[in-house]
Structure formats: C-alpha cells, structure tokens
Amino acid sequence: MQHASKLIVFTDIHMTVKLRAGCPEPESRLRAGLAHALSSVPDADMILLMGDLTHWGDRGSYRKLRAVLEDVPLPVVPMLGNHDNRAKFREIFPETPVDGSGFVQRVIPLGAHRLITLDTLIAPREGDAFSHAGELCPARLAWLDAALTEAGDAPCIVAMHHPPHATGFEAMDGIMLRDGEAFHDLIARHGTVQQILCGHIHRTIFGSYRGTPYAVFKSPVGQMPLIFAGDDTSVECHDPPAFGIVIAHDSGVMVHTEDFPAP
C-alpha cells in the first residue's frame, strides 16, 4: 500500500438527553468508543458519523453530541439517519456543508478516492405518514449523478445511513432505502463506486449487491439480534458495541470492525 487514507466510522449513536428505559447510556458509550478508536487507529484521517446521530432529533441531544465531539482531535463528518431532524441538526451544526437543496451531503477527497456522504432522511411531504424508511428522491439522485460525473475516473466510496437493498432482516428490509434500485442503476452507469458503507441495521453485515461491495456496521449502543424473520424493527440485544475502520488505498478499500468494552 503506497498511500492509504483511514476513516473511523461510528453509526447509530442515538444520543438522548434522558436515558431510554432498558437502553445503554449513549454519551458514555460514544466517549469510550472514541477513546478506543483514537488510541488504536492513531493515524486516522477523519471520523464519519453515519446517521441516527440522535434518537429523537431534538436540539438538546444534538448539543450533547456536539459537546462530546469538541474533544476529538480529527475532522468529524456527521450524516443524517431516520431518527434525525434535518432542521434541528443544521441549527446546532451550522458549519456542516449542505448541497444546493439543503440536504446534508457532500464529496470529500480521500487520497485518490472520493468519499461521497449521502442524506437519506425522508423529506416529509404533506399527507405522508411518518416512516423510518429512507429515500434519495430525484433531487438527491441528480446531485449524486453530478458528483460521480465530477469525480471522473476517481474511485468512490459512498456512505449512506439506509442500506439501498435488502440485508436479510425482514423488518429492517421494510424500512430500507425506498429508491435503492434507482441508486444502483446510477452507480452502475458510472462504474466507479468501489464500496458502499451503511448503518441503520445495528449489526455487522458484509456482501455485494449487483456487483458493488457493501458493509453495514454495529452501533455503540443496542445491536440487532439474529432474528431474520418478523416485523419488529425495535428488537435489540446487548452484544458488544463497535465501530468501523475503512482504509482507502491505491488498489481498493479495506473494511474492519472493532468491538470495544462497554463502560
């Protein structure tokens, strides 16, 4: 490996101001995970937070997250998930770049790679029932098309909270990205996406879909138990918390995960 860029990946932090009954305390979990990650990957280039930053999308939880991140000596790239609130996030994290339509997505150079972070939080339309599913919508797909065109031949890593295809958990597959096939059509046309990174499931999953490799990471808080069937999206187990390490190098991408002791 001549050149390598390293990302530390935390997803599904679910920060709250008040403790949720029966759930681990998110702030101490995140602090313990960050300390473990920064000491075990001291040459990391940045930290990616892949959505569900908070559980209820409230200002207090975003402020609490912001306070934890103040001690982090690396650039931090926050993304949104279904539990987030775009307007409140932008209020508390006003310096985070957004695209021309106000979606929290951007392109970050990563050595020879481009890291493209997408905003898959549904933009609610009048009359729509609330859903924990994700979407890119025509505006965000057009933005991604332009970003991939701009990247030219550069290899790309796409990070998105919602998996853009089924991952085998029936309940979670019911709230995956709604326009995943359009996303896959688009990246197939460009042919430069080497790796997709996701959260949302709260479990380590690797695979490929239509030829593109993907990785899903565990959360610092509750994990998804091995129950493939059923329709309960809220089941959680107390498997150890974890974070991911993604290494982009001249010949491709490596993906690791690391459990850390719960405080």
Closest approach of Fe ion to the CB of residue 73, in Å: 26
Name which of 189 and 238 has its Cβ closer to Fe ion.
238
- Asked if residue 52 binds Fe ion (CB under 5 A), the reply is yes
Total Cβ atoms within 10 A of residue 71 = 10
- Asked if residue 239 binds Fe ion (CB under 5 A), the reply is no
Which residue, 55, 32, 35, is CA-closest to 220?
A: 32
The correct pick among 5, 8, 9, 12 for binding Fe ion (CB under 5 A) is 12
Residue 162 in contact with residue 81, Cβ under 8 Å?
A: yes
Name which of 81 and 220 has its Cβ closer to Fe ion.
81
Spatial neighbors of 148 by CB under 8 A, at least 6 apart, are 116, 156, 186, 187, 190, 192, 193
Specify the stretch interacting with Fe ion by CB under 5 A; choose among 49-57, 84-92, 97-105, 238-246: 49-57
Name which of 9 and 110 has its Cβ closer to Fe ion.
9
Residue 175 in contact with residue 82, Cβ under 8 Å?
A: yes
3-state secondary structure of 66: helix
The correct pick among 113, 165, 178, 200 for binding Fe ion (CB under 5 A) is 200
Placement of tokens 């129950």 in the chain: 227
Q: How many residues make contact with Fe ion (CB under 5 A)?
A: 5
In whole angstroms, give the CA distance from residue 12 to residue 54.
Answer: 8
Closest approach of Fe ion to the CB of residue 207, in Å: 18
Torsion, Cα of 135, 258, 14, 62 (10° steps): -100
Closest approach of Fe ion to the CB of residue 221, in Å: 8
Residues in contact with Fe ion, shown as a per-residue x/- string from 55 to 94 under the rule CB under 5 A? --------------------------xx------------
In whole angstroms, give the CA distance from residue 151 to residue 37.
Answer: 30
- Asked if residue 5 binds Fe ion (CB under 5 A), the reply is no
Closest approach of Fe ion to the CB of residue 152, in Å: 32
- Residues in contact with Fe ion by CB under 5 A are 12, 52, 81-82, 200
